[in-house]
């Protein structure tokens, strides 16, 4: 016996995304995902030298332990921003500021 077909069936990920949007939680959810994904995206070496990371008004603020690392990452800011945009969408992170 086949289960009944529902024309309105949607994938669970789509349902979760719609729920987040309807409850106005999507921006905070996306921001939390960026922060949690920092180590995976930049690697353990950089993550270990990161003191604090947070997002405010689509700007990713990264506090680093070393001025030298801040300087070096400044050269790769555009590539890092592109990685975050590909992973999380165009409207989650618009800028990265190293502190």
Whether this model's pTM surpasses 0.85: no
Which domains are seen in the chain, by residue range? 25-98 (3.30.70)
Residues 6+ positions from 91 with CB-CB distance below 8 Å: 58
Q: What is the mean pLDDT of each run of 10 residues along the chain (99 residues)?
A: 63 80 76 89 94 93 95 94 89 92
pLDDT score for 2: 58
pLDDT score for 38: 94
Pairing between β-strand 59-64 and β-strand 50-56 as defined by DSSP bridges? antiparallel
pLDDT score for 39: 94
């Amino acid at each position: 016996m086949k289960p009944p077909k529902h024309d309105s069936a949607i994938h669970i990920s789509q349902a979760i995304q719609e729920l987040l949007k309807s409850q106005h939680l999507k921006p905070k959810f996306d921001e939390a995902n960026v922060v949690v994904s920092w180590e995976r995206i930049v690697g353990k070496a950089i993550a270990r030298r990161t003191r604090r990371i947070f997002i405010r008004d689509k700007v990713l603020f990264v506090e680093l332990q070393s001025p030298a690392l801040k300087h070096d990452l400044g050269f790769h800011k555009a590539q890092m921003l592109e990685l975050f945009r590909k992973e999380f969408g165009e409207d989650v992170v618009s800028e990265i500021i190293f502190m």
